[in-house]
Amino acid sequence: MYLVTASEMQKMDRLAIESFGIPGMVLMENAGRGATQFFLDQFKDAENKKIGVVAGRGNNGGDGFVIARYLAQKRMCVTVYLLSESHTVKGDAAANLELLRQMKVPVIEMPDQESLSKHKTAMRHEAVWIDAILGTGLQSDVKGFFKDVIDFINNSNKPVFAVDIPSGLNSDTGQPCGTCIRAGATATFAFAKTGHILFPGADYTGNLKIIDIGIPPYIADDVRPMQHLLTLDLIRAVFQPRPSDAHKGHTGHLLVIAGSPGKTGAAAMTAMSAMRAGAGLVTLGVPSSLNPILEAHVTEPMTDPLPEVREGILGETSFTRIMELLSDKKCITLGPGMGMAPETKTLVHRIIQRSTKPMVIDADGLNSLVGHTEILKNLNIPVIITPHPGEMARLSNTTTANVQKDRIHCAREFAKNFNTHVVLKGAGTVVAHPDGRAFINPTGNSGMASGGMGDVLTGIIAGLIAQGHAPELAAHAGVYIHGAAADVLANTKGSFGYLATEVQNAIPETIKKFVDSV
């Protein structure tokens, strides 16, 4: 499903009007009518309550005028607070404002702080607010009078319904611009915007409904939005039932290089998660002194004790054996719990440069690349990296805060610049590809904020690649399955306190649901 930026949506609106011939007035009417129905669905008790529509002078305000008209036609008590003087409203918005006047819907002009102060007493009597102040094009912080209005509405503790996007929310990044309306529900038009889905924007948006306003599908296809919401339909190819005569030789062999003292759990969870995701065979290469621990900890994966440079630490002495192990494998996973010894970093660099098989790099494998990301640029194999925001910040030579401010941009630029598939973990995991496309994952919950979850994800993705799925599809399906398995646990155990190994063990049940739905 497409997710659009502000500029992509503006282009679609323009093409619908100019090339397809739908008048802007019709688009606004369709938007307002659809939003009204969603409003009534969400606020079933609003019929006998006072409703305030706070509107700007642009098209977002125009959509609000249409909603006010439909509510008035139902004889509901609605008042419009126009944050401008009426003569400044132009175009289709002005035409809809005139229709309100003809219907004698109260329109209070409130263009400045003085008039806001004058009408605050009346505004406090409104039981429900409809936010039609600012649209999707906002890029700078909300200040002054508009900030005061938004803060007043938020502080009123009344339910709020947002038109297209909560006023003050950046529609591309999901970040509030200084201040932002906190809506219980939002009706958006034609397509969801990335800011609705990314956090914290999803929390400001509330329940989201996409209203069809009549833009033909070919216009969206011509614009080709570069953001998508991951859906089951996009990853359905992963969930085809296996042939009855399938055996472990058909379902792939994965090599996992992982582990160091104190971090054997990461190695075990990665290997076991790959098997839970359906890999036929997994070989876990670990420092030789740790091999007895891993042999006791995992049953189904095989282990291979690798030469050490010192106890528990891998270095170049294990490189030859790793290459021998890799020769008949379908994929290699590098990094979980490997540690950050200088010798280990050198080994990681060499494996990345010499591998001939698709590679998933996580955790200490990523930390070993800090300052050496140019190694990734000219590889002839598919590479997936799975950083959390802190690791992404180190790889990109920025701060975690900067990564979180624009997750799509950060993941996309790294993917393009270093020819990798980037899985930027976190609430609304972003999967970005070298061609500029980015996908946002809707599954998962806050209970996943505990150790080991990333190791499970790495194992799932690598296990899917080992089974023969394309790395891009494996990344998409991996993050979707990972979050969905955690959602199963949250529904049965509660929203926190479940463990990464429990997510790992819920993978087959989750996949079964998807296979059964095919």
Q: Characterise 140 by phi-psi region: left (phi > 0), alpha (psi -120 to 50), beta (else).
A: beta
Q: Which helix (H) or strand (E) holds 188?
A: strand 185-189
In eight-state DSSP terms, residue 419 is T
Residue 238 lies in a domain: no
Residue 311 lies in a domain: yes
3-state secondary structure 113-173: HHHHHHHHHHHCCCCEEEEECCCCCCCCCCCHHHHHHHHHHHHCCCCEEEECCCCCECCCC
Three-state DSSP class for residue 403 = helix
The DSSP bridge pattern shows strands 227-229 and 302-306 to be unpaired
Kindly report, residue by residue over 250-303, the tens digit of the pLDDT. 899 999 999 999 999 999 999 999 999 999 999 999 999 999 999 999 999 999
Residue 246 lies in a domain: no
Q: Is the pLDDT of residue 517 over 90?
A: no
Kindly report, residue by residue over 445-482, the tens digit of the pLDDT. 999 999 999 999 999 999 999 999 999 999 999 999 99
Q: Is the pLDDT of residue 240 over 90?
A: no
Give dist(CA 359, CA 337) in Å, integer.
16
- The CATH number for 154's domain is 3.40.50.10260
Looking at the structure, tell me whether residues 87 and 194 fall in a common domain.
yes
Residues 419, 334, 476: CA angle, nearest 5 degrees: 55
Residue 41 lies in a domain: yes
Residue 244 lies in a domain: no
Looking at the structure, tell me whether residues 221 and 303 fall in a common domain.
no
pLDDT at 4 (0 to 100): 98
Query: Nearest CA to 433 among 449, 419, 421?
Result: 421
Within a 10 A sphere around the Cβ of 43, how many other Cβ atoms? 18
Kindly report, residue by residue over 31-45, the tens digit of the pLDDT. 999 999 999 999 999
Residue 63 lies in a domain: yes
Residue 354 lies in a domain: yes
Looking at the structure, tell me whether residues 365 and 318 fall in a common domain.
yes
Kindly report, residue by residue over 155-213, the tens digit of the pLDDT. 999 999 999 999 999 999 999 999 999 999 999 999 999 999 999 999 999 999 999 99
pLDDT at 242 (0 to 100): 86
The pair phi, psi for residue 285, each rounded to 5°, is: -90, 120
Contact 338, 313 (CB under 8 A): no
Looking at the structure, tell me whether residues 167 and 260 fall in a common domain.
no
Q: Residue range 494-501: average pLDDT?
A: 95
Residue 242 lies in a domain: no
Kindly report, residue by residue over 364-400, the tens digit of the pLDDT. 999 999 999 999 999 999 999 999 999 999 999 999 9
Q: Is the pLDDT of residue 518 over 80?
A: no
pLDDT at 243 (0 to 100): 86
Number of domains comprising the chain: 2
The secondary structure of 486-510 as a DSSP string is HHHHHHHH-SS---HHHHHHHHHHH
Looking at the structure, tell me whether residues 507 and 370 fall in a common domain.
yes
What percent of the chain shows pLDDT beyond 90? Answer: 95
Mean pLDDT across the chain, nearest whole number? 97
Looking at the structure, tell me whether residues 352 and 402 fall in a common domain.
yes
Query: Residues 344-350: contacts with CB within 8 Å, 24+ apart?
Result: 344/260, 344/313, 344/314, 344/315, 344/368, 346/315, 346/316, 347/314, 347/315, 347/316, 347/318, 347/319, 349/375, 350/316, 350/319
Spatial strand order in the sheet of 207-211: 107-109, 78-82, 51-55, 128-132, 160-163, 185-189, 207-211
Looking at the structure, tell me whether residues 347 and 475 fall in a common domain.
yes
Looking at the structure, tell me whether residues 365 and 410 fall in a common domain.
yes
Give dist(CA 288, CA 348) in Å, integer.
17
Looking at the structure, tell me whether residues 335 and 458 fall in a common domain.
yes
Structural domain harbouring 457:
251-517
Give dist(CA 453, CA 256) in Å, integer.
17
Compute the residue count for the chain.
518
Looking at the structure, tell me whether residues 202 and 312 fall in a common domain.
no
305 contact partners, CB below 8 Å, separation of at least 6: 286, 287, 288, 291
Examine the fold and report which residue of 168, 196, 229 is the final residue of a domain before the chain moves on.
229
- The CATH number for 277's domain is 3.40.1190.20
pTM recorded for the entire structure: 0.95
Looking at the structure, tell me whether residues 440 and 478 fall in a common domain.
yes
Looking at the structure, tell me whether residues 85 and 220 fall in a common domain.
yes
